[in-house]
Amino acid sequence: MVEKGRITAPQTEFIMIPTIIGTAILSIPSIDAKFAGHDMWMTPILGSLIGFLTVYIVWRLHELYPMQTPIEYSERIIGKAAGRVFGLLLTLFYIHNSGIIVREYSSFISTNVMTDTPIIIFSITILFVSALAVRGGLEVIARTAIICTTLFMSSSVVLLLLIKDIKLGYLLPFLENGLLPVMKGTLIHNSWFSEFFLLAFIFPYINNQKNGLKSGLRASLIVMFILLYVNFFVLTAIGTSAANLFYPVYAIIRSITVYNFFENFEVLITASWVLGNFVKISVFLYAASLSLAQLFRFSSYKIIVFPLSVLVFIFSYWDLPNLVVKVNYISTIQPFYLLTIQTIIPLFLLGIALIKRKRSEST
Amino acid sequence: MILRKSCIILLSLLLLSGCWDSEELQDLSIITAAAIDLVEDDKIQISVQIFIPRAITTGQTGEDPSAGSTFIREGTGDSLAEAVSKLQSNVPRVLFWGQCKIFIMGNELAKKGIQKEVDYLLRHPAPRGFSYIYVSEEKAREILMLVPPLERYSGEALRKLSTHESGIDTTLIDVDTHLMGESQAVALPLVKPLFSPEKARQENETIPTITGTAIFKKNKMVGQLNMEQTRGLMWLLRKIKRSTLSIKPEGYNEEIIMMPTIGKIKFKPLIEKGRWIMNVDLDIRGDIVQNETKMNLFNEQVIERLQNEFEAVLKERVSQTIKKLQHEFHSDPIDFGRRFHQKYPEEWKKVKNQWDEKFSEVDVKIHVDATIRTPGDIGPPAAFPNDEVVK
């Protein structure tokens, strides 16, 4: 067994929530406003359906092959050669995606907060800390996630201070151009919600196995509510002009003033977002290292964490030259890319596994 | 092991010691307000009011407290961005925009169009999107030069006026939302130095004051509303708080004045047989604060009659403003377009591109419901023989 740590079911929720929201809060609202306009508030509700579906697929696969990760059971489901190809695909996918997340995080910090600092500094520092956490194992990630997630989530209370400034009129007209724009916005959410597939690397190491599904679904529900809450405030505070801003959530938080005295909440929020993204990057790096180790039958994944972070860093630096390309990637390529690998292929795997199971029972 | 530990310590030393963006307070020049003007040869001039931190502690240092706690620097360039970088070279310290919540646009610039400047202010990460924007009646720079007797600097005086709702308050984001929105029009407060007849201790010792409203259509100023019409506009923008309403009751030459305390306004757009109608329902409650007439206000019929007269006056005031916007400026900063769009998305699509013309044709129906809560602390006119009071 490559991973020796054991975590509890509630800890998985603490791990998964920032893993979805971490970058979603940065990138989604602006693209959502562009696609869905006045109806952007409802997109997370439809988007979360993919979240529930993915959690369920992962759970069923886990029930059929307990104590195994996708790298191991894919070989048993679709044969050795095809399984290993899928494993390689998954490994590369998580390395690539970690790179994109690191880039999303660093370009946010460098365009908004520390404009003079080179972007690679943020990438290197966050990757270094995350790599240390991943080397510590899943238990360390889980324990740091409890602290980081609590701080990350509690900072979102700040948005409530906007209640006096919101205009509910911006929610109208309801479904002006039909459902199509909403579906486009939903697709963006889908790509984030499909990241619940990461649970496949966590479920085998839960203490009390029967609570796994419940906490997975609960995490998905909480993520939906947070995104709903954020989208609602973005829309009612600045309307559809959110589409013009790259970071609308940051913009509305900058606008909060209470009696002209409590201001500049963005400092607090940025600090908490760093914590959230730290958890996100740790989980992705963990998934990448674990799958690479299992793919090549290493006895431990700890030795490859640092080399892998270097690779992730290179991906973060090369793949997305600037913010415009990033937004384009998120709104056109990413939904299909992430959904295919994290939801659709596992769905097929589950189908084949169930048929196999039935056949072996009947014979 | 020792090697590993020392490696980590070395790395922490490198990473925790600070960053590129560290800016010490003594290296910053804190901007409190900025004015943007159009000067000769279509160049843009930005003037900023910079806070002098040492001026607050004048007591100990023995400096002249009336010298003011700010100074003004300017930069000129073909674009606002160039002007700002010229400005930076005139200031030895790094410009810090975080505290700047006031931007004043010069009159000339407002007439020419403010889109390019708003773009810079929203695009650059340093200026705040939710800072207030004003239009100056003359050169914007003159507003910055004022030294208010009470506040520390003129920017602060302006900001306080805005938060107390003496005029409309519009932020950068509002400008963006409105000019890209349905009506492509926005209203900005108009400012000018307050003329004070008292002998000031020094030149320029007065505050900027809000004297009306500049109406923008497609980023150009198309007209101005005076204070009377601005009050009508504030009703329409739901921003009324501090303005009195006076009537001359029938048969009297004197006035009765009410201070509204609660005001509500509802817009009900309606399209009926191709006619676009906007129902504006105003609900206002207030107290009488002055009675110049001989009427006894301790009388139900009198109050009833006054309420009707207040309704008529408010209706007149609001409809005048709407008329001016509809027929003179053809500009819709009061969001009729958005309200029609929200209720009638299909019909809206047809008139979207000719909204200017359609807006002038909208039939506005105003209904006012005024309630006098109390006639004040006294009923009959004060300091007046009781037998001469009209019952």
Nearest-CA distance from B29 to chain A in Å?
A: 18
A3 domain residue, yes or no: no
Q: Find out whether B301 and B318 touch, Cβ atoms under 8 Å.
A: no
Rounded Cα distance, A302 and B29, in Å:
49
B270 domain residue, yes or no: yes
Instruction: Using the predicted structure, report yes or no on whether residue B391 has a pLDDT greater than 80.
Output: no
Instruction: Using the predicted structure, report yes or no on whether residue B320 has a pLDDT greater than 60.
Output: yes
Q: Which residues of B touch A128 (CB under 8 A)?
A: 11, 15
Number of folded domains in chain A?
A: 1
Residues B76 and B153 in one domain: yes
Residues B316 and B353 in one domain: yes
Q: Find out whether B333 and B216 touch, Cβ atoms under 8 Å.
A: yes
Contacts of residue A17, defined as CB under 8 A and 6 or more positions apart, other chains included, come to A149, A153, A219, A222, A223, A226
Which chain A residue shows the shortest CA-CA distance from B339?
Answer: A169
CATH code of the domain covering residue B375: 3.30.300.210
Rounded Cα distance, B177 and B151, in Å:
32
Q: Find out whether A117 and A297 touch, Cβ atoms under 8 Å.
A: no
Q: What pLDDT shows up at residue A1?
A: 59
User: Does B341 contact A241 at a Cβ distance shorter than 8 Å?
Assistant: no
Q: Find out whether A304 and A286 touch, Cβ atoms under 8 Å.
A: no
- pLDDT bin (cut points 50, 70, 90) of residue B218 is confident
Cis peptide leading into A173, omega within 30 of 0? yes
Q: What pLDDT shows up at residue B63?
A: 46
Give the bridge partners for B282, in sequence order: B265, B368
Helix boundaries (H) for chain A? 9-36, 43-64, 70-78, 80-112, 119-136, 138-154, 180-193, 212-238, 248-254, 266-295, 305-318, 323-328, 334-339, 345-362
Q: What pLDDT shows up at residue B202?
A: 64
- The closest alpha carbon to A17, from A333, A332, A277, A314, belongs to A277
Q: What pLDDT shows up at residue A281?
A: 92
How far, in Å, are A280, A283, A335, B300 from residue A19 at the CA level?
4, 7, 17, 67
Q: What pLDDT shows up at residue B57?
A: 52
Nearest CB neighbour to B20, from listed A114, A176, A251: A114
Query: What confidence tens digit (pLDDT) does each residue in B21-50 have?
Result: 667 777 888 888 888 888 888 888 888 888
How far, in Å, are A84, A232, A236, A252, A292 from residue A169 at the CA level?
54, 12, 8, 17, 51
Mean pLDDT of the region A37-57: 87
How far, in Å, are A86, A363, B82 from residue A91 at the CA level?
9, 35, 48
- pLDDT bin (cut points 50, 70, 90) of residue A296 is confident
- pLDDT bin (cut points 50, 70, 90) of residue A182 is confident
Residues B122 and B265 in one domain: no
User: Does A255 contact B130 at a Cβ distance shorter than 8 Å?
Assistant: yes
Which has more pLDDT, B245 or B20?
Answer: B245
Instruction: Using the predicted structure, report yes or no on whether residue B200 has a pLDDT greater than 70.
Output: no
User: Does B181 contact A115 at a Cβ distance shorter than 8 Å?
Assistant: no
- pLDDT bin (cut points 50, 70, 90) of residue A139 is confident
Residues B344 and B235 in one domain: yes
Rounded Cα distance, A261 and B12, in Å:
36
Name the A residues in 111-170 with CB < 8 Å from any B CB: 111-118, 121, 125, 128, 169
Q: What pLDDT shows up at residue B65?
A: 47
Q: Which residues of A touch B171 (CB under 8 A)?
A: 255
Query: What confidence tens digit (pLDDT) does each residue in A325-334 have?
Result: 888 888 888 8
Residues B175 and B293 in one domain: no
Domain's final residue, options B192, B225, B258: B225
Which chain B residue shows the shortest CA-CA distance from A119?
Answer: B20
User: Does B181 contact A241 at a Cβ distance shorter than 8 Å?
Assistant: yes
Instruction: Using the predicted structure, report yes or no on whether residue A178 has a pLDDT greater than 80.
Output: no
A91 domain residue, yes or no: yes
Residues A81-99 as b or e (16 or more Cβ within 10 Å = b): eebbebbeebbbbbbbbbb
Q: Which residues of A touch B21 (CB under 8 A)?
A: 113-117
pTM over 0.95: no
Average model confidence (pLDDT) across chain A: 85
Domain's final residue, options B176, B199, B225: B225
Within an 8 Å CB–CB cutoff, is residue A241 touching chain B? yes
A363 domain residue, yes or no: no
Q: What pLDDT shows up at residue A298?
A: 83
Q: Which residues of A touch B98 (CB under 8 A)?
A: 264
Residues B277 and B384 in one domain: yes
Residues B191 and B256 in one domain: no
Rounded Cα distance, B276 and B271, in Å:
5
Query: What confidence tens digit (pLDDT) does each residue in A81-138 have?
Result: 888 898 898 899 999 889 888 988 888 888 887 777 788 888 888 898 899 888 888 8
CATH code of the domain covering residue A347: 1.20.1740.10
Q: What pLDDT shows up at residue B129?
A: 75
Mutate to test the interface with B, among A30, A124, A244 (most CBs of B within 10 A): A244
Residues B48 and B195 in one domain: yes
Q: What pLDDT shows up at residue B15?
A: 64
Tell me the percentage of chain A whose pLDDT exceeds 70. 99
Q: Find out whether B289 and B354 touch, Cβ atoms under 8 Å.
A: no
Tell me the percentage of chain A whose pLDDT exceeds 90. 4
The angle subtended at Cα B175 by Cα B169 and Cα B177, nearest 5°, is: 120
Identity of the residue numbered B387 = D
Would residue B26 be called left, alpha or beta, if left means φ above 0 and alpha means ψ between -120 and 50 degrees? alpha
Residues B129 and B220 in one domain: yes
Q: Which residues of B touch A121 (CB under 8 A)?
A: 19-20
Mean pLDDT of the region B143-148: 80
Rounded Cα distance, A52 and A61, in Å:
14
Mean pLDDT of the region A225-242: 86
B275 domain residue, yes or no: yes
Instruction: Using the predicted structure, report yes or no on whether residue B62 has a pLDDT greater than 50.
Output: no
How far, in Å, are A93, A121, A155, B79 from residue A107 at the CA level?
21, 11, 21, 27
Q: Which residues of B touch A169 (CB under 8 A)?
A: 338-339, 342
Average model confidence (pLDDT) across chain B: 80
Which chain A residue shows the shortest CA-CA distance from B20?
Answer: A117
- The closest alpha carbon to A276, from A25, A12, A1, A11, belongs to A25
Q: Which residues of A touch B125 (CB under 8 A)?
A: 111-112, 115
Which has more pLDDT, A311 or B182?
Answer: A311
Residues B277 and B193 in one domain: no
Rounded Cα distance, A236 and A160, in Å:
12
A362 domain residue, yes or no: no
User: Does B173 contact A116 at a Cβ distance shorter than 8 Å?
Assistant: no
Q: Find out whether B287 and B274 touch, Cβ atoms under 8 Å.
A: no
Residues B232 and B332 in one domain: yes
Q: What pLDDT shows up at residue B197?
A: 65
Instruction: Using the predicted structure, report yes or no on whether residue B201 has a pLDDT greater than 80.
Output: no
Mind giving me the DSSP string for A200-267?
GGTGGGBSSGGGHHHHHHHHHHHHHHHHHHHHHHHHHHHGGGGGG-S-HHHHHHHT--BTTTB--THH
Number of folded domains in chain B?
A: 2
- The closest alpha carbon to B335, from A169, A82, A34, A163, belongs to A169
Residues B217 and B339 in one domain: no
- pLDDT bin (cut points 50, 70, 90) of residue A282 is very high
Domain's final residue, options B197, B225, B253: B225
- pLDDT bin (cut points 50, 70, 90) of residue B163 is confident
State which residues form the domain around B171. 25-225
Pairing of β B220-225 and β B208-217: antiparallel
The angle subtended at Cα B291 by Cα B288 and Cα B297, nearest 5°, is: 70
Rounded Cα distance, B88 and B29, in Å:
10
Rg (CA), chain A: 20
